[in-house]
Amino acid sequence: MPRRHDPERRQRIIDAAIRVAGRDGIAGLSHRTVAAEADVPLGSTTYHFATLEELLVAALRQANEGFGKVLAELLPDGGRGDLAADLARALGEWLGGDRTGVELEYELYLAALRRPALRPVAAEWTDQAAALLARRTDPVTARAVLALMDGICLQVLLTGGSYDEEYARTLLTRLIP
């Protein structure tokens, strides 16, 4: 049987992995569940991603792009304005939509605690986000702001509470010189 040319298959597999992990958690992720979700043969998933760790790395990289894009748009080179208000608004937009994507990003991010292969990707995202924030503040403050934003997001996600933009802006204002 001739081999079918399918240049988008790798991307469909990553997208399927994100959907499976979003629906069933990382524990529900396997080559088999991803192949079924992507509607590809099982061998395709193992061809593109020899191990589940490789697939998780690709999924984490793609998931990280969500808030990274929000930050990149919000923090253009030479941008001015009230950084605390801008960041509080961005968190509100991010947490105000479908939380499944946000929850998945954090689940993948925190999976790095137990899966060393994910650590470089998590660190890469942190470095990129800190560099974006450093466009509007100093590098040390940028790291502290990231830690605060992560804390706010985790509190909202873990408690099931609603996001309070004014509270976030107040906290960020105290941290940003």
- CA 67 to chain centroid, in Å, comes to 6
DSSP string, 129-140: HHHHHTTTS-HH
Q: For the chain, what are the domain ranges?
A: 1-50, 57-175
Q: What is the per-residue pLDDT for 85?
A: 92
Identify the CATH homologous superfamily for domain 1-50.
Homeodomain-like (1.10.10.60)
Residue 1 pLDDT grade (very low, low, confident, very high; cuts 50, 70, 90)? very low
Contact of 153 with 91, CB cutoff 8 Å: yes
Q: Which one of 3.10.450.50, 3.30.565.10, 3.30.1330.10, 1.10.357.10 gives the CATH number of domain 57-175?
A: 1.10.357.10
Once rounded to an integer, what is the mean pLDDT over residues 15-20?
93
Its pTM stands at 0.81
User: Does the CA dihedral 60-89-164-94 come out positive or negative?
Assistant: negative
Residue 5 pLDDT grade (very low, low, confident, very high; cuts 50, 70, 90)? low
Q: What is the per-residue pLDDT for 9?
A: 92
Fold matches, 1-50 and 57-175:
no
Contact of 34 with 20, CB cutoff 8 Å: yes
